[in-house]
């Protein structure tokens, strides 16, 4: 060779993928150009709670948690022979207006779920659209009317500071979600065409195996926005349940009332944890997690390479191409290596890296939530063992029983997803071409 022998690069990177009509056919010599076709492993049809069942469950949970907190505060010694009361609680000390305000605010979605279920399943399409919109307006008017009435009654009996306690999280709602009522009624975002008048049935979110890198990135942006809304809804609504069920009754308690501060405090904490787990299990079912996982596989990821020697071989990053594992590219004056079977992500994009890290294996997030739930159940069990008062045994055992339901669902989902994604990872490793 003229000019002497050239130094070969230490690693020969894969070339960018050409258009579909120019790709190397199977059996030819240049197979390293091809991006492997991602074949997703199908997950079984895991049962999940419907919206109406879940809202009914939350109504029962809210009423139970609020009743147990009142039991912790207003219990009596009714079993003594000379006791002046025949009931286990001093019911006359409970402020019914505060109770009505709490139940109206926390159970608003149950009424909406009932009316929406009737509109979508028992009415013809022409009447369903009208009933859907009418029901939404009716629920909002009913909720705000009841909240206004209870607020007026509370204001006539208490100081204005107590009104601020009641509306503190409502103000936080408008700070987080803005001036919109959709998150107030719909826990999961609905992608329907009702505003165009073509359909009233909510369109579920789905994954499309797009061959276009730009289409993959757009899908990831949609899924990322949907995920952020769901996580905000789960955490905020769990905070609302813990605040209004566990803390608000304490603000409206009589000054002369004596109660176990530690016990009512731990009750509020465990109500918050239990409601958060219930919301997370409902908002992030296995099928939805698998959609995020499939999008993350198509998105791929890059790792930064510190080797900047002049003889390194690389390809300039092109947003219109898919990249295969081991390819070296240069973007924004940095070198990157593809660390996934295929990559449509932008090198150095923190949002793409975070999305891939979270959902390349969703069973990791499931394991984390399962660990929190196990810790909560164990803590409740220890407190129940150390409890000596009768009301503590009742409230602790009922709250512990409620926590077994999300614990079962989390454990089941984790076992299924862990085994499926482990098998999928082995399949992808066998299909991956040599770098």
pLDDT band at 321 (very low <50, low <70, confident <90, very high): confident
* Greater model confidence, 42 or 21: 42
pLDDT, averaged across the chain:
82
Q: How far is CA 31 from CA 18, 323, 325, in A?
A: 12, 13, 13
> Who's near 252: CB < 8 A, 6+ residues apart?
95, 98, 158, 162
Please say if the pLDDT value at position 32 is more than 70. Answer: no
Tell me if 46 sits within 8 A of 416, measured CB to CB: yes
| Least confident range of 17-26, 181-190, 365-374 | 17-26
Please say if the pLDDT value at position 279 is more than 80. Answer: yes
Question: What is the DSSP code string of 204-237?
Answer: PP-----S-HHHHHHHHHHHHHHHHHHHHHHHHH
* Greater model confidence, 199 or 234: 234
d(CA 338, CA 19): 19
Percent of the chain with pLDDT over 90: 39
| Least confident range of 76-80, 104-108, 150-154, 376-380 | 76-80
Please say if the pLDDT value at position 133 is more than 90. Answer: no
| Least confident range of 250-254, 304-308, 409-413 | 304-308
Put the strands of the sheet holding 328-331 in their side by side order: 302-305, 334-338, 328-331, 315-316
| Least confident range of 247-261, 317-331, 348-362 | 317-331
d(CA 48, CA 409): 9
* DSSP 3-state of 299: helix
Please say if the pLDDT value at position 191 is more than 80. Answer: no
* Greater model confidence, 193 or 45: 45
**Which pLDDT score is estimated for 56?**
94
pLDDT band at 78 (very low <50, low <70, confident <90, very high): confident
CA-based nearest residue to 294, from 225, 336, 338, 344: 344
**Which pLDDT score is estimated for 410?**
92
| Least confident range of 192-206, 336-350, 354-368 | 192-206
What mean pLDDT comes out for the span 412-421?
Answer: 88
Please say if the pLDDT value at position 3 is more than 50. Answer: no
pLDDT band at 240 (very low <50, low <70, confident <90, very high): very high
Percent of the chain with pLDDT over 70: 85
Please say if the pLDDT value at position 281 is more than 50. Answer: yes
Please say if the pLDDT value at position 424 is more than 90. Answer: no
**How crowded is the C-beta side of 81, counted as CA atoms within 13 Å?**
0
Residue 86, beta-bridge partner list: none
* DSSP 3-state of 201: coil
Please say if the pLDDT value at position 5 is more than 60. Answer: no
Please say if the pLDDT value at position 222 is more than 60. Answer: yes
Overall size of the chain counted in residues:
435
pLDDT band at 277 (very low <50, low <70, confident <90, very high): very high
Rounded to 5 degrees, what are φ and ψ at 230? -65, -40
pLDDT band at 152 (very low <50, low <70, confident <90, very high): very high
d(CA 416, CA 193): 34
**Which pLDDT score is estimated for 255?**
87
* Greater model confidence, 180 or 306: 180
What mean pLDDT comes out for the span 14-18?
Answer: 39
d(CA 329, CA 356): 19
* Greater model confidence, 234 or 40: 234
pLDDT band at 202 (very low <50, low <70, confident <90, very high): low
> Who's near 354: CB < 8 A, 6+ residues apart?
none
User: pLDDT for 54-73, tens place per residue?
Assistant: 999 999 999 999 999 999 99
**Which pLDDT score is estimated for 331?**
79
**Which pLDDT score is estimated for 34?**
54
**How crowded is the C-beta side of 247, counted as CA atoms within 13 Å?**
14
């Amino acid at each position: 060779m003229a000019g002497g022998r050239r130094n070969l690069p230490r690693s020969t990177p894969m070339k960018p993928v050409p258009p579909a009509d120019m790709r190397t056919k199977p059996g030819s010599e240049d197979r390293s150009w091809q991006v492997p076709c991602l074949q997703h492993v199908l997950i079984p049809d895991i049962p999940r709670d419907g919206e109406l069942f879940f809202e009914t469950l939350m109504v029962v949970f809210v009423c139970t948690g609020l009743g147990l907190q009142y039991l912790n505060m207003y219990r009596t010694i009714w079993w003594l022979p000379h006791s002046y009361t025949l009931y286990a609680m001093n019911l006359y000390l409970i402020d019914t207006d505060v109770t009505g305000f709490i139940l109206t605010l926390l159970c608003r979605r149950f009424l909406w779920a009932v009316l929406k279920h009737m509109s979508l399943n028992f009415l013809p399409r022409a009447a369903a659209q009208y009933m859907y919109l009418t029901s939404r307006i009716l629920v909002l008017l009913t909720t705000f009317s009841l909240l206004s009435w209870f607020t007026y009654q509370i204001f006539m009996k208490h100081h204005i500071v107590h009104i601020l306690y009641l509306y503190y999280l409502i103000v936080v709602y408008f700070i987080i979600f803005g001036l919109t009522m959709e998150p107030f009624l719909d826990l999961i975002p609905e992608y329907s065409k009702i505003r165009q008048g073509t359909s009233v049935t909510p369109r579920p979110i789905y994954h499309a195996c797009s061959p276009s890198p730009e289409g993959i990135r757009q899908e990831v942006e949609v899924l990322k926005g949907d995920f952020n809304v769901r996580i905000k809804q789960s955490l905020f609504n769990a905070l609302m349940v813990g605040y209004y069920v566990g803390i608000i009754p304490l603000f409206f308690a009589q000054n002369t009332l004596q109660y176990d501060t530690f016990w009512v405090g731990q009750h509020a904490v465990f109500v918050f944890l239990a409601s958060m787990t219930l919301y997370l299990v409902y908002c992030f079912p296995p099928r939805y997690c698998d959609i995020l996982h499939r999008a993350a596989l198509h998105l791929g990821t890059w790792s930064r390479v510190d080797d900047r020697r002049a003889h390194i071989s690389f390809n300039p990053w092109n947003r219109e191409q898919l990249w295969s594992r081991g390819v070296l590219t240069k973007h924004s004056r940095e070198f990157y290596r593809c660390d996934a079977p295929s990559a449509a992500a932008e090198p150095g994009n923190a949002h793409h890296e975070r999305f891939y890290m979270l959902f390349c294996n969703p069973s990791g997030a499931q394991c984390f939530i399962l660990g929190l739930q196990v810790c909560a159940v164990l803590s409740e069990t220890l407190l129940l063992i150390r409890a000596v008062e009768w009301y503590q045994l009742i409230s602790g055992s009922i709250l512990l029983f409620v926590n077994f339901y999300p614990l079962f669902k989390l454990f089941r989902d984790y076992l299924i997803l862990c085994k499926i994604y482990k098998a999928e990872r082995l399949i992808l490793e066998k299909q991956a071409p040599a770098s």
